[in-house]
Chain A
Amino acid sequence: GALVYQYPRRTICKSGTSMRMECQAVGFQATSVAWYRQSPQKTFELIALSTVNSAIKYEQNFTQEKFPISHPNLSFSSMTVLNAYLEDRGLYLCGARGPSYEQYFGPGTRLTVL
């Protein structure tokens, strides 16, 4: 079946430092990979969308300078949170869409910033 793995599941970093998270789609061809963030008391916000043969598109309020993403092949993506501060804490989810357009999500990386 279609699965999405994310690593790490939880991470703690000091304010001002950076952390990298990874996402891998297994069992299907991912035509796009999207990164979302669920902040405390909020719903999911799209950070950026990476589609095959297209540049990575960032949503308003999110920039490549702050959340650089690497998407070297269809099944693997990584995102770094640079210079993390308290407002960056939350659950970061990676969603991959297959040919049927249904999205599959990983378990998320929960970021705590001290």
Chain B
Amino acid sequence: QQQVRQSPQSLTVWEGETAILNCSYEDSTFNYFPWYQQFPGEGPALLISIRSVSDKKEDGRFTIFFNKREKKLSLHITDSQPGDSATYFCAASESNYQLIWGSGTKLIIKP
């Protein structure tokens, strides 16, 4: 049973556009939601995270929007750059328990 779902599986946008990556979850006890960025040949690295007490978290061009009622969140990447091309993983956990990972969204930014 997949508890964290990501869509789309892959996404292509033009440089300068806003990329929107979606994530949904099933367990209402999840309260920590990190997004990890992975470049080819490398391990994932934490990009940005949000806790369920907030509905928005911003870090430069990256913003998480969180809807607790619908159990959905999204990662918005504004002014997309070719260097943002990577796979993005949404994950979720309850307090100190292990992370549950989505299957990832492969983002391609066309110059």
Whether chain B is bound by chain A comes out as no
- Measuring CB to CB, which residues of chain B are less than 8 angstroms from any residue of chain A? none
